[in-house]
Structure 1
Amino acid sequence: MYLAPTPSPILHALQELIDVVAHLRDPAQGCPWDLAQTPESLTPYVIEEAYEVVDAIRQNDVEAIAEELGDLLLQVVLQSQIAQEAQQFTLGDVATGITNKLIRRHPHVFADGEADTPEAVRQQWDAIKAEEQGETNSTLLSKKLGRYARTLPPLMAGLKIGEKASASGLDWPNISGAWEKFYEELAEFQEALLKGDVNQQQSELGDLLFAVINLARWCHLHPVTALQDSYGRFIRRLEVIEGAIAQPLEQYSLEELDNFWQQAKAQLRQTDPNA
């Protein structure tokens, strides 16, 4: 006697989510907010939810990680539901596409390829990806870098562009060149500020930030992580100050606030030297 396999609890949960999202998008009984959404209107939420996943992981908060991954999954399902309504693709197409991609780009696992180190795997992945995208040795570097500038957050794009340019020979022979470029861009930014041309100031500020990113690359430091850590230190010190004062910040003089700041730094360093 044939017994049908018991449905997987995971697949059941996913189907329930898919059904709920479809109901929210039902023209007759759905939610006005969900019905008003488009792929374009939802893009800020995709970015926001992805960053909230990263934050939860950095905090090592297991419950928050699960919750934020759910929020990110919702964006995938909702985008797929909207596309299905427009007869473009379905969530099944999305899942099939990434499954096939994983198989293609892991020939050392699913075929007869060879890659026995993480670096070898990364190089193999990049080579297969370039081939799939029609890139060859003759593909212009500017075309490759343009994709990073369009698709990655600015700081990450700057790091990736610097890495790829360096791999093609567009780099200084040592870190001294990166330092010289930094001071050159700093001077040009200061000069632009004196001239009062906003467009030039914006341009020189961008050059200065790119120079800082390249310095970070030479020092094997990640600019995104460094900036996030800096934000965290600033906020922790502010929390200490606000917990110790009796009045709003704006009621203290700059000198008093500076004293509070130095005290907060000293207090935090007793428990965390990096604070």
Structure 2
Amino acid sequence: MQPSRDMKRLVEIMSALRAPDTGCPWDLEQSFDTIIPYTIEETFEVVDAIERRDPDDLKEELGDLLLQVVYYSQLAAEAGLFDFEDVVEGITRKMIRRHPHVFGDADARNARSAKGQWERIKAEEKRERAEARAARLRAELDGTAERSEWSGRNEAATSLLDTVPGALPALTLARKLQEKAATVGFDWTTPEPIIAKLREETAEFEAASTGQERSDELGDLLFTLVNLGRRYEIDPDSALRGTVAKFRDRFRLMEVAADSQSLRLADLPLDELEALWVRAKRSSQPEAESIIG
């Protein structure tokens, strides 16, 4: 089998890897649940390649992420649920439907609020999916359809917050839960009370006396910080990743400075490490002097 730019070739390769008698032993052992960690890892590797502005790595990581979609689709096809073509058809239908201002008639294209259309159409789709799930459940209950592990573990949300996927990264999950609660008015309208709450949570963290209490209070602190960022339209995950990137760069400058003096960071006392950090921080600013010089 030869590589190809045709998407069908990737589907064929995945099918061959899962062939019962001739496929790859490792791939044959995998399931929806076992490849979840790889999907998460590949997603973050795409983000990393973008942040590093590395086009070669980005191309490769996008391929790895695309493979995850094909993998799940192959597993679904084997279970009689859907196949890759169904996935493609579904997303193309969704994009066309959600962009009437692009693909619709003249009136739709002249509409002022594309976002308003998007939210309205999303609500319609959500209602349609709920109706389809309810119909499937009725069929299973009256015996006209067989119930399986894919019948759904939560056919209908019992809480407004149940509509937010719990497997999201913690900072994103916190933000989305707060946004959902805000739709019913449970939200601060100005940053001042959030800042006051932040001071309160900081004091409670300082007063905590056990490991569990500190863990709980730290969680409250982070949750409040997410709320503050949301008030200023700052994505907490992006903000933290930006700080992590700065920390990486400045720490590398510390390593380079120490190496230029034939020193090892591990051998230096804290005050000298802090001095290197200050110099690294200054040198990372525009027109700053070199940390090495």
Q: TM-score, normalised by structure 2?
A: 0.77
What do residues 149-181 of structure 1 show as CA deviations (whole Å, max 9, x unaligned)? 515322122222323333432222421111111
Amino acid aligned to 2:83: T
State the alpha-carbon separation in 2 of the partners of residues 11 and 108 from structure 1: 35
1:114 matched to 2:108? The reply is yes
Alignment correspondent of 1:3: none
Distance 1:116 1:223, change over 3 A: farther
After superposition, the CA RMSD in angstroms is 2.9
1 or 2 for the larger relative contact order (CA 8 Å, sep ≥6)? 1
State the alpha-carbon separation in 2 of the partners of residues 248 and 41 from structure 1: 42
User: Cα offset for 1:115?
Assistant: 6.0
User: Cα offset for 1:116?
Assistant: 5.1
Alignment correspondent of 2:257: 244
Name the one with the larger helix percent: 1
User: Cα offset for 1:123?
Assistant: 2.6
State the alpha-carbon separation in 1 of the partners of residues 197 and 72 from structure 2: 43
Distance 1:145 1:115, change over 3 A: farther
Alignment of 1:67-146 (within 5 A): 67-112=60-105, 114=108, 120-134=113-127, 143-146=159-162
What do residues 228-268 of structure 1 show as CA deviations (whole Å, max 9, x unaligned)? 11111111111111122234422211112111111211222
State the alpha-carbon separation in 1 of the partners of residues 38 and 216 from structure 2: 29
1:203 matched to 2:216? The reply is yes
Unpaired runs of 5+ in structure 1?
1-9
What do residues 42-79 of structure 1 show as CA deviations (whole Å, max 9, x unaligned)? 11121221222223233333333222111110001111
Distance 1:230 1:260, change over 3 A: same
Q: Among residues 8, 23, 26, which one is paired with 2:19 in the alignment?
A: 26
State the alpha-carbon separation in 2 of the partners of residues 127 and 141 from structure 1: 19
Alignment correspondent of 2:138: none
Alignment correspondent of 2:47: 54
Contact (CA 8 Å) 1:115, 1:124: kept in 2 or not? no
What do residues 120-146 of structure 1 show as CA deviations (whole Å, max 9, x unaligned)? 22232222222322399xxx9983433
1:40 matched to 2:37? The reply is no
Contact (CA 8 Å) 2:282, 2:288: kept in 1 or not? no
Alignment correspondent of 1:4: none
Alignment correspondent of 1:170: 186
Larger displacement relative to structure 2 (170-179 or 55-64): 55-64
1:157 matched to 2:169? The reply is no
State the alpha-carbon separation in 2 of the partners of residues 70 and 241 from structure 1: 35
Distance 1:125 1:43, change over 3 A: same
Q: TM-score, normalised by structure 1?
A: 0.82
Contact (CA 8 Å) 1:238, 1:261: kept in 2 or not? yes
Amino acid aligned to 1:50: T
State the alpha-carbon separation in 1 of the partners of residues 253 and 234 from structure 2: 28
1:227 matched to 2:227? The reply is no
State the alpha-carbon separation in 1 of the partners of residues 288 and 91 from structure 2: 42
How many residue pairs get aligned? The number is 257
